Each structure stands twice: as structure tokens, then as C-alpha cells.
A and B are shown apart, each in its own frame.
Chain A
Amino acid sequence: MGRSPTPGRVRRAALGATLAIALAGCVTPARNDEQYDAKAVAAVEAASSEVATVHLTVSQRLGRKIPAAYADEVVTASETALDAIEGAFGAVQPPSRGSDRTYAEVSEVLANAGEAVTYARFAVRRDDAGAYPDLLGQLRTAGDQLSALEKRLK
């Protein structure tokens, strides 16, 4: 015969479920190199998406397909997201000396991407159309670096 749920048990189950859901989106530690590499890949993938967003936005701005305010908001949101990705990855402790190298490589590529996106934000906010072609090149390079690193880490 099954036990009937008492109020205490229901409360504990509800608390457990709430905590599990709340923790679902949190950064968890990497216990070995494999887990660390998986986090590195996730960070690089997410950063690639943000760089590609800024690239598309700047190219649309160059073609006057998108209003300045809208472009500014999209680029600023991607810059904020990149900062958060960099911060979250940097907060994970590399589990071994070997993974220090991964940390250095990912950090460098993320920093390059962040810099390209920041310059894009400067230009979009100033509506400096002359700077857009160079910026598109920088963003493409940052995107290529991210893709190459992602392939290598996988």
C-alpha cells in the first residue's frame, strides 16, 4: 500500500522542486577536464551567437535597413550578454593545469570578441557609417576565431 502524502512531505517535495528549478540556470563547477571543455564550448557557442547578431545588425545599419535606436539596443544587449558569458566562464575554476591552457585560449578569444562588439557599439551609437566596413571585418575575424576554437574544443 502506498503512503499518502502528508503536508510535510508535500512541502519538502515542493521546496526540493523549487530549489532544483532555481538552480537549473546556475553555473555549476567543472569537476574534470571534460566538463571544463564542455563549459568552454558552451561559452564559445553563446559568444559566437552574440558576435553574429552584432555583425548582422551592423550590416543592416550600413544598408540603412534598421533604425539607429533599434540597432543600438540590439548591439548593447549583445555586449551585455558577452560580458556575462565572459564573467560566467571566468568564474569556473579550471580543474587541472591542462585546462589552464583552455582557459587562456577561451578568455583571449572572448576578450577579442568583446572588444570588437564594444567598438561596434561606439560606432552604432555615433552612427559612424564610415567605420562600419572595418567593423564588419573585425567582427568576422572575431567570429572566425570563435568558430575555429569551438571546432578544436569539440
Chain B
Amino acid sequence: MKRLLSVALGVLTAIGGFVDIGDLVTNALVGSRFGLSLAWVVGVGVLGIVVFAEMSGRVAAITGRATFDLVRERLGPRAGLLNLFGSMAVTFLTFVAEIGGVALALELVSSVNYLLLVPFTGLAVWIVLWRVRFSILENVFGLLGLALLVFAFAVWRLGPDWSALVHQATHPSVPGSEGVPTYWYYAVALFGAAMTPYEVFFFSSGGVEERWTAKDLGTSRLNVLVGFPLGGVLSIAVASSTALVLLPAGIQVDTLGQVGLPVSEALGRLGIAVALLGFFAATFGAACETGLSVGYSVSQYFGWQWGKYVRPREAALFHTVLLAATIAGVAVLLTTVDPIKVTEYSVVFSAVALPLTYFPILVVANDPDYMGERVNGRLANGLGQVYLVLVTLAAVAAIPLMLLTKAGQ
């Protein structure tokens, strides 16, 4: 019974923790402009994150070591440093977007300008990273993130023409009001949002923090195979809600406040209160995950003591990186840069950095010296290679599409 509860908790936190500011904003924006004609990208992205999260979880359970710990050893210090720089830059940008997202969510509740809330948000994130136990951090925000299920409930209450919705999702086409390059720009952005690199850093480092062994592989796979796809359903619910309410009204999402309007339309004040709780939990939880991922990557690359399972004084450099990243993140936001724009750029740059993250995982998961009998099977390898081609195509196309479409305008 205890094991069943633990598995259920893992799956629920995987669902609740799947959506972050990038998923929220990108899915809402895409729903309000393209309806469900890009829903297929969420499916492709979710399958990709499932493939690589399973691999990175397996690597963590078998070797007892996390991604960047092995990247430097397997690829060498120079290639490892390039990898670290690229992946960390994107994770830091995502961290900035998440802190901004928390401040924006709090602004919607308090009417206090988000810029005044940013320093307090940064302080709160840092205190949680410093003091709160890993399992509490993961479970509390993951479970609270389930509040975003209110979007699925809102879609149901809006009483849509389900067959029309399914038709839109299964017969993708470029809407007449949008250009083909813009469609593909947002396809790349959605793909980047679904496969954000920090998710695998956090997942694999979390596995090491929780001291996974081969015995935990079943639980880890269940979290990934059930939790992530259901998290993807949550993303599609967000897109569906804006497609149903905002698209017909001619509203294109450019603020977090607009994302919640379909929920209030369907469910009133109670609905929007739950959605706000979901916004807060999703962004705060993801701020902690991205902050930790920055600390994990740097510390693992340089071979420092890292993690939440050791006292801060025993992992002083790791905690210094967390503090420095938080201060830098707050400083970036205080330049008055729009957090939603940061989010939009962060998901596109995630796409650019995808091969840097996923190529080494595929290499290590295939190396019998590390994995013994638990190397990738045919299915994992086949899917891994297909996705390596896809992430490379997305990485190559991202910047030209951004320039061509003026960042999706």
C-alpha cells in the first residue's frame, strides 16, 4: 500500500510539475492564434521528453550519477564545457522566466506591480532552495500544480463541439490569417517548451538525490510514462481553452492575465482562483527546478559536492551557484524586460540547445561500460535516434524562423 501511494504520488507530481511558464504561455498563445492545429507538436514533444527522461532516469539509477557528471567524463572537458555553457544559458533564461512568472501570478492577485514583487520572489525561491527538503519541494509544488487541471474542467464546461476540436487536432493546417513560417516558428517553440532541457537535468539529478537503484526503475518509468503524457494533456487543455474563448474573440495572448480568462468565462471566480493557484505552483515549482538545475549542471561538471541531501555547508559551492543565479535572475528582471517575452525567447532557445542535452544522454545510455546490461534496447535507441534528428532540425530552424517571422509577429 505504501509503495502504491509512493507511485501515485510520483505520477501526480509528474503531471502537476510538467507545466511551467513556457508551456502555459506558449500553449495559450498558440491556442489563441492557431486553435488546435499545432496540438500534434505537443504529442511529438511529450513522446520525446518521455524517451529521454526514461533514459536519463535509467542512467541515474544504474550509475548513481547524473547527466553532467557523465557528460564531461564521456565527451571530454572541452566538448563538455561547450555543452555546459549552452545548456546552462538556456536553463538560466528559463529560470529568469519562471521567477518573472511567479511575480506576474502574484501581481494578478495583489495588484502590486510585478517589478516590486521580483526581489521578494527571488528571495523566497532562494530560501526554498536553501532550506526546504528536496522531497517536500518536489511533492508540494507538483501536487499544487494539479490545480491547472481547472483548464481541462473549464474546457468541459464550455461545452465545445468535441468532434470539431478533435478534427482540428488531427487534421493540422495553417489558419488563413497566419503565414507558414509563423506556423513552423510556433511549432518549434512548442517543441522546445515540451522538451525543455532542464526537465531531464532535474529528473536525473533528482534520481541521484533520492538514491535510485535498479529496483526503482519501475517507479521511475511509471512516473515518466504516465505522468508526462498526462502533463501533456494539461498543456493541450490550456491551448483548447484559449482556442475556444480567445480565438473567436480575436484575442492573441501576450500576458499571463489573458491565459486565465477562458477559465473565468467557464467557471467564474472560483475557477480563476484555482487557476491562479496553479499559475503560482507551476511557476514557483519550475523556478526551484530550474534554479537547482543550474546548480546541478555547474557542480556536476566541475566535480563539486552538490545536492539537497547534503548540508549546505558541505556543498558550499553548489549553494553559491544557486545564490548567484538567483541574484542574476532577479537583476535581469529588474531591467524591466518583459517576463512573457523572456519566456517566448526561452522556449525557442531551448529548441536551439536540445541536441546539446540529448546527444550525450543517448551516448551514455548506449555505453555498456556505464550501463552494463541496462543499455538502450532497440525501441529506446530507435526513438532516441529519430528524436536526435528532430531536435537537430528544430535547433537549426529555430533562429532563422525567429528572424524571418520577427519572433512570431
Contacts and interface: CB of A to CB of B under 8 A. Distances in A.
Interface of A: 17, 20-21, 24-25, 42, 46, 48-49, 52-53, 55-57, 60, 63-67, 69-70, 72-74, 77-78, 81, 143, 147
Contact of A66 (B109, B254, B264): B264
Nearest to B255: A77
B261 A73 contact: no
Contacts of A74: 255, 257-258, 261
B250 A49 contact: yes
Contact of B251 (A52, A60, A64, A77): A52
Nearest to A61: B264
B108 interface: yes
B249 A56 contact: yes
A60 B402 CA distance: 35
Interface stretch (B5-13, B44-52, B265-273, B368-376): B265-273
Q: Which 7 A-B pairs have the closest CB atoms?
A: A74-B257, A65-B268, A49-B252, A66-B264, A69-B111, A77-B255, A52-B249
Nearest to A150: B250
A63 B109 CA distance: 19
Contacts of A24: 402-403, 406-407
A53 B251 contact: yes
Given A46-B252, A70-B257, 6 more contacts: A20-B403, A24-B407, A57-B261, A64-B269, A66-B261, A67-B273
Contacts of B250: 48-49, 52, 143, 147
Contacts of A77: 255, 257
Given A56-B251, A66-B272, A81-B254, A21 B265 contact: no
B367 to A, nearest CB: 29
Q: Interface SS of chain A: helix, strand, loop or mixed?
A: helix
Contacts of B246: 56
A67 B260 CA distance: 12
A21 B402 CA distance: 8
A70 B106 CA distance: 10
Interface of B: 107-111, 245-246, 249-252, 254-255, 257-258, 260-261, 264-265, 268-269, 272-273, 276, 341, 399, 402-403, 406-407, 409
Contacts of B403: 20-21, 24
Contacts of B110: 69
18 contacts: A25-B406, A49-B250, A49-B252, A52-B250, A53-B251, A56-B251, A56-B265, A60-B261, A65-B265, A65-B269, A66-B272, A69-B109, A69-B110, A70-B264, A72-B111, A73-B257, A143-B250, A147-B250
A70 B274 CA distance: 13
Nearest to B269: A67
B108 A70 contact: yes
A73 B402 contact: no
A69 B406 CA distance: 33
Contacts of A60: 261, 264-265
Contacts of B107: 73
Nearest to A17: B399
A127 B273 CA distance: 19
A77 B256 CA distance: 10
Contacts of B276: 70
A72 B108 CA distance: 9
A49 B258 CA distance: 11
Contact of A56 (B261, B272, B402): B261
A74 B276 CA distance: 13
Contacts of A49: 250-252, 254
Contacts of A53: 251, 258, 261
A101 B288 CA distance: 53
A52 B261 CA distance: 12
B407 A25 contact: yes
B397 to A, nearest CB: 14
Given A56-B249, A67-B269, A81-B254, A73 B407 contact: no
